Amino acid sequence: MDRARTDPPSAPGRASTASGLVLLVACAAEFMVVLDSSVVNVALPAIRDGLGFSPAGLQWVVTVYALVFAGFLLLGGRLADLYGRRRVFLAGLVVFVVASAAGGLATTPAVLVAARAVQALGAAVLAPASLTILTTTFPEGPRRVRAIAIWTALASAAGAAGSLLGGVLTEYLTWRATLLVNVPIGALALVVAVRALSPERHDTTPARDDPRVRLDAVGAVAVTTGLLALTFAVSQARGWTSPVTLGALVVAVLALALFVAQEGWWSRSPLLPLRLFGLRAIAVGNLAMLLAGGALMPMWFFLSLHMQQTLGLSAVLTGLGFLPHTVVTVLVGARVAPWLMRRIPARSLLGIGSLVAAAGFGWQSLVAPGDTYLSGLLGPAVLMSAGVGLLNTPLSTLVTSGVTDRDAGAASGLMNTTKQVGGALGLAALLTVSLPAAGGPAGPATAVAGFAGAFRLMALLMVVVAVLAAALPRPGARPDGAR
């Protein structure tokens, strides 16, 4: 039956309200996921003292979240396709909130690390499901661009807000509040999600309705093992030639090779259909996402250390130091980028944003000993953040374009995985060439030199992203890039 003939006149208004609630829920979920990748960083000394962590064990509060999150993202995206986006989204949200509560109430190091692992598992389901819900709720066009712009802007803001919120909560309340803050936010999101996400629309997917489609267990185990091993290897401070690192890299190569063989030749229902890489927007766009993640995610790490260790700012002042990054990223990403995408091609805006970000990183690399926050960080912060705000929306739009509803979850999971793995690889590579900037035993001048070197490499990565933008399909081209 044609719903347009039976709905009352107020149906368009109700549809708009429903879409707004869907956007609110998706943004809240992504905000929590990104927030929790950084909110505990400032609280680590208090966590160490409160629970009696050893120096070697403390890193796992952060590392286990990154390991599990990166390893399960593709599986999380495919689960949404196979079992319904609403059902999987709600399940991931419940797991995330319960694990946050368990971590906030932990009384031993083991309980906190285990809770962080489960929290990351919920996050790995939430992140691709939230984007899939957006791309299937808003059809391709200006409304989807606007929705993705808000989603990406708030995700970028969450990365900066994590440092500020973590500092404030730790200094004025307790480190436990950095995890418990997710409970009221998540509970509210759960209530709204139950109302906004309809089973008829968000649990009905082509893959779920096809009895021939099954979960690719071999592919799931292979890619999860491979990404866990790869992320573990690059997150270690043991050196690239240590047996532990080399062993992890061997496991990663073997597991990922098995994954490619499984997806390309053996599986009838692949977790990640390799045909997606026949779409130039997917192949080139995810390579650009990998390199962008390698610059944008480590940016917060190096800036936080520079402000605290070189400039001597407190945790709260360091968090406040990220306000220009947050405000500019959100304003440009949510307002300017969608307006420009109605006037210029997405790939052109991606190139422009990448070059603006590269200029900001290059300016930041000119920092010198004796510079203050105002003289050495504020100007580059505005330029970097403007570039990030300009490139996030077109990049997220391009790497999910031309994909059918059947593969929407897989494409979203791939995008999130690419970004996360790119960030882990980028941070590891940057640390190897700029260890003094990460707090090594060196004087202020050496630390500033390492910091500057890291930002020069970030600028170079963003220039490469701008070059890749030119290789993306032109407007009006077929999804595979042909005319």
Query: Per-domain residue ranges for the chain?
Result: 15-204, 216-270, 275-483
Architecture of domain 275-483 in this structure: Up-down Bundle (1.20)
Predicted confidence at residue 200, as pLDDT, reads: 61
| Region of 233 on the Ramachandran plot (φ > 0 left; ψ -120 to 50 alpha; else beta) | alpha
For residue 62, the one-letter residue type is V
Taking only the tens of pLDDT, the chain with its 483 residues reads 344 333 444 445 555 667 778 888 888 888 888 888 778 877 777 888 889 887 667 767 877 887 788 778 878 877 877 787 788 889 999 999 999 999 999 999 999 999 999 999 999 888 888 877 877 777 767 777 788 778 777 776 776 677 778 888 888 888 899 999 889 988 988 888 888 776 666 556 555 555 566 778 788 888 888 888 887 787 665 567 788 888 989 999 999 999 999 888 887 778 788 888 888 888 899 999 999 988 987 887 788 778 877 888 877 787 788 888 888 888 888 788 888 988 888 889 999 999 999 999 999 999 888 888 998 899 999 999 999 989 988 888 888 777 776 777 678 778 878 887 888 778 777 876 665 444 444 566 777 888 888 899 999 999 999 999 998 887 655 555 554
Write the burial class of residue 464 (CB in 10 Å: 0-12 exposed, 13-18 middle, 19+ buried): middle
| Widest pairwise Cα distance in the chain | 74
Q: Are the folds of 15-204 and 275-483 the same?
A: yes
Task: Please report the beta strands in 185-273, taking only residues with DSSP state E, as ranges in sequence order.
Answer: none
State residue 106's pLDDT score: 94
pTM of the predicted model as reported, rounded to 2 decimal places: 0.74
Domain 15-204 has CATH 1.20.1250.20: yes
- Backbone Cα Rg of the chain: 22
- For 125, what's the count of Cα atoms within 13 Å in the CB-facing half-sphere? 23
**Closest by CA position to 428, among listed 248, 285, 255:** 248
Query: What is the C-alpha separation between 351 and 470, in angstroms, rounded?
Result: 7
Measured at the alpha carbon of residue 28, what is the angle toward residues 409 and 144, in degrees to the nearest 5?
Answer: 55
Are 231 and 426 contacting, i.e. CB atoms less than 8 angstroms apart?
no
What is the dihedral sign for C-alpha 219, 222, 228, 232?
A: negative
